[in-house]
Structure formats: C-alpha cells, structure tokens
Amino acid sequence: MSIPADLKEFGAALRLRRKELGLTQEMLAALAGCGVVFVAQLEGGKPTLRFHKVLDVLAVLGMQLRLAVAPPEAAVTIAIPSHARGGEDEV
C-alpha cells in the first residue's frame, strides 16, 4: 500500500519541526507519552495511527491541526445503506 502524498508531507512537517526544536525521536516520544515507533510511523506518514496520540505529539511540538472546508469539487459522495438509516438508500 502506498502512502498518500499528504500524509508524507504531514510527517515531513512534523520531522522538520522536531529537528528545529532539537529533539530526537526518543525525546519527543517521552515528552508526548508515546513510543519511539509511533513517532517514527507518524513521521513516515503511516495512515493508521491513534488520533489522540497524534494530537499529543503536535502539542509537544507546539503545533495545531486545523480543518478547512474543501472546495465542492473535492467532496466525496458517500452512500448510506438503507438498513443503517431505516429507509431507502440515500447519497
């Protein structure tokens, strides 16, 4: 499975900030209360990580995650099965 470019960029930004602060992965892991493997995976862009731990690492680095509404052409259509809603299929 290839890692999406945006996750690689996210990880690279975290790695750059960690290095700017003079922290090793071990130091960051200790400060954020997670393991070194987690930090390495985060910096590597692993797509499946515990979100609350990601936020802990960001806090130690003095960073925030901000959400923005994407333009309509970037939206994804999701079909909700009728059994999940109790009626007909809807998009």
Q: What is the pLDDT of residues 14-24, one digit of tens each?
A: 999 999 999 99
Report pLDDT digits (tens) over 37-63.
999 999 999 988 899 999 999 999 999
Mean pLDDT of 24-42: 96
Q: Which residues contact 91 (CB under 8 A, 6 or more apart)?
A: 77, 78, 79, 80
